Structure 1
Amino acid sequence: MTDRNAKRLLELLRQPGNDECADCGLKGPEWASYNLGVFLCTTCATGHRKIGSHISKVKSLKLGKWEDPEVEVLESGGNRLVAKKTERFVPACYRRPKPGDPHVLIEQWIRAKYERREFETDTCKDYTRGEMRGHLMKKAKDENKYFPRYFILSEAENCLKYFPKEGAKEPKATIPLSEMNVCLAPAKMHQDNGLQISYIVEGSTRHVYLYHESGHVIINWYMAIRSAKLNRFMVAYPSASETELVPFLCTDFALEGYLSKTGPSEADGYRKRWFILDHRKLMYHTGQMDAYPKGEIFLGHKDDGYAVELGAPKNCKDQGFTFHLVTPERTFVFSASCREERDAWMAALTAVLARPLRPQDNLMAVSLVRKRAGKFSLDIFSLAQ
């Protein structure tokens, strides 16, 4: 690359919008597509390579040899100008990827923009029609095997149903959209196109794990659920804008990982559990992909007797990197594997306890109290037998 072209590229990178990746927003792009005219991070440049050089030709800004015509394309384009065309009609329900998001989300965003050109016209997308049907692979509740199931998403009926096979009369389950969260979970599931649905059934959280061999298909399902939920919200809250409602669609879990947990008795030992922090609910499971949590802890506000404190409480064994969660009902004691994990969990929980409660949070608290009361009654009945 000539010194003149190197200076031209540096000047382009200083322009607003070009200082971050055109597709995920990561600061400091190190690549560019010299036929599309956009600057890219390393991860998104890999995504561009996957869609093929007939659509996007990428080159390193530092190591590549840049010719005058290639630099001229970038000068006439740039991230913001190209986005005005490729992102003109992105639906409000569509989740735009951010740095660190699952690869399937990033790749399908890139394909949607440059290969399928989905957002250049204001036409109805498959995932915004309010209904979707098709087969997905679903994990069995009690074993690590997947089986094909037929799914129907209906915005009109406010639910997602799945059947043992297409044409079956009765669904295996009907999941209300209002009770459902969906998130991408490829790392945990060891499936590139893994999807996790969580919902409330009989006062307890149920997790369903799905995948499809096609990333395009699984992202369409993901966006279709978001679209249906958004449209239902727009009806329920007519004075709110789409921008205000989008954050309340489907969200990734705030934090997941293994912690050791001890029981309510001082004599209880620590047991390894998989924890999920979901809004104001802390769930713990025996394994990463259990269908149901072993326990669910409501996280109220710090002014109502909730707190996160370093170390173990008095008369409780400190296993190292220990901290405890204080609630009005009891104190939960946890141990992380290292200082960084402990600090991350403490920071995440403290942030939750500082947030004001919403009306739906109070409903969740009532549900979990009823669940604990029911379990207590069952334990008393069992002891009496």
Structure 2
Amino acid sequence: MASPEKNKKILLDMVKQPSNDYCADCGAPEPDWASYKLGVFVCVNCSGTHRDLPAISRIKSIRLDFWDDSLVEFMKTRGNAAANAFYEKCVPPFYYRPQEKDCVVLKDQWIRAKYERREFTGENNSLPYSSGLYEGILWKKGKDNKQFLKRRFLLSETDFTLRYFTKEDSKKPKAVISMKDLNAVFQPEKIGHAHGLQISYLEEERTRNLFVYHDNSQEIVSCFNAIRATRFAYLKKVDPNLVPLITRSSIKEGYMEKTGPTQWEPFKKRWFILNLTDRKLSYFKTSLDALELGAVFIGTEGHGYSVREGQPKGSRSGRWRFAVTLETPDRQFVFLCDQEQDQREWIEAFKLVISQPMLPQHYNRKENTIYRKKWQCVGLAACFREPNSGRVEASHNR
């Protein structure tokens, strides 16, 4: 007869062993669920997808459920390391392996690809994201409105481009996007769709965003990995050292208010994105803006960059609430946060970027960052028309 307490202790001892002490699928620490058909330990979040695959995987809690002796013996013969050696044997180097904090669609499709479709065991050599050519229909948000419209996308490894067309049978693309600076990242909450994908690239040295989704989760993840595959091939050709930069995620996003260089200009609410890989702080009018208003390069402390909380020296008391002051060699930036927690998170994010050493490619990016000295006027001598607004503003107060 099975001893529940004895079997529970065996499982709890097993889950403390190296490789079993993190989720087999997303790497979350201290998993407390297990698949007794696959012999892997997984976290509560990944267990949900396993539960949706009853023909492939069967899930039990290692703490709360009853475990028969035969199931425990089976788990003792498997474990995460042995299972992943088989199910992840041939994962392409460009394929994105989701982590604990990644969105549901990435983790769900990773689990299905591993166990249900067996894409990485070496049995399947015909994968849509690794053919060097991807074509599909995605819903794309209009540049100047909130409406999503169907657009045809064509990704080619031959010339390292992503094209999209306004009509399915169009011969002439609306845009031809180079792989040189293209980036793709899932942003379901921002876009308002569980499969929302943000594609960014440089257009005349300004970041432009495309917000897209597909109703089919496998299709959108295949599109994402096809982009990574093409970018991987491009980076291998131009500079193999840049391969780790296939796609980049921001370390902090959110609204803050900013003012101009004299710090007497009105504060304006902007959506900010801080990227560690590019050492770049970009800002937009809203979270779903297609075109970047401006950007600031973030160097190291040794290059004259620093960040602190609170108002600048010599300013009037009480004018800045939850302020973040960013010092650069050219000027001082002051941002306002709505909450003290936001202030702390932004300061920690800036400190993380500043603490990282600059790489050779960062020096080129610094010169090409949109925020240039010609925008750093103190008076009102230089003016420009803010994109799509019809208003004229001082250039330093975008």
TM-score (norm 2): 0.89
Residues 38 and 57 of structure 2 are in contact (CA less than 8 Å); yes or no, is this contact kept in structure 1?
yes
CA positional deviation for 1:375: 10
Residue in 2 that maps onto 1:315: 315
Return the offset for 1:320.
1.9
Which amino acid letter does the alignment assign opposite residue 286 of structure 1? K
Trace 1:1-385 onto structure 2 (pairs within 5 A).
Answer: 2-50=4-52, 52-121=53-122, 123-237=125-239, 240=240, 245-278=242-275, 279-313=278-312, 314-315=314-315, 318-368=319-369, 373=374, 379=383
Give the deviation of 1:358 after TM superposition: 3.0
> Helix, strand or coil: the match of 2:369?
helix
Distance 1:358 1:335 in 2: 30
Deviation readout 1:92-116 (Å, 9 max, x if unpaired): 0011111111111100010001110
Counterpart code for 2:280: K
Query: Is this contact kept in 2: 1:36–1:73, CA < 8 A?
Result: no
Deviations 1:109-166 (A, max 9, x none): 1000111010111625221111100101100001111000000001111110000122
Shift of the 63–110 alpha-carbon distance from structure 1 to 2, 3 Å rule, reads: same
Equivalent-residue separation in structure 2 for 1:190 and 1:93 (angstroms): 27
Deviations 1:154-190 (A, max 9, x none): 1111110000122312111111001211111111111
Give the partner amino acid of 1:347: E
* Cα distance in 2 between the residues matched to 1:374 and 1:172: 30
- CA shift, 1:360, in A, is 3.0
Amino acid paired to 1:111: R
Secondary structure of the corresponding residue to residue 178 of structure 1 = coil
1:213: Cα distance to partner? 0.4
State the secondary structure of the residue aligned to 1:252.
Answer: coil
Deviation per CA, 1:10-58: give whole Å up to 9, x if none: 23223221111111111111111111111110000011122x2111110
Alpha-carbon distance in structure 1 between the residues aligned to 2:57 and 2:247: 31
User: Distance in 1 between the 2:225 and 2:384 partners?
Assistant: 45
One-letter amino acid matched to 1:259: M
Using a 3 Å threshold, how does the CA distance of structure 1 residues 20 and 374 change in structure 2: closer, same or farther?
Answer: closer
Change (3 A) 1:356 1:15: closer
Higher helix share: 1
User: How much identity, in percent, do the aligned residues show?
Assistant: 38
Secondary structure of residue in 1 paired with 2:177: strand
Query: Any idea what SS the aligned residue of 2:345 has?
Result: helix
For residue 371 of structure 1, report the CA deviation from its aligned partner.
6.1
Q: Contact 1:204 / 1:371 at 8 angstroms: preserved in 2?
A: no
Distance 2:225 2:336 in 1: 37
Q: Which amino acid aligns with 2:73?
A: E
Q: Stretches of 4+ moved more than 6 A in 1?
A: 374-378, 380-383
Structure 2 counterpart of 1:254, which letter?
I
Task: Verify the 8 A CA contact 2:184 2:199 in the aligned structure 1.
Answer: yes
Residue 153 of structure 1 aligns to which amino acid in structure 2?
Answer: L
Looking at structure 2, the residues matched to 297 and 353 of structure 1 have their Cα atoms a distance apart, in angstroms, of: 13
Rounded to whole Å, the distance in 2 between the matches of 1:249 and 1:155 is 14
- Contact 2:37/2:57 (<8 A) preserved: yes
Report if aligned partners of 1:161, 1:172 keep a CA contact under 8 Å in 2. yes
Structure 2: segments with no counterpart, 5+ residues: 386-391, 394-398
Q: Secondary structure at the match of 1:152?
A: strand
Contact 2:141/2:212 (CA < 8 Å) preserved in 1? Answer: yes
Cα distance in 2 between the residues matched to 1:31 and 1:69? 17
- Report the 3-state secondary structure (helix = DSSP H, G, I; strand = E; otherwise coil) of the residue aligned with 1:296: strand
2:67, 2:100 → 1: CA distance? 27
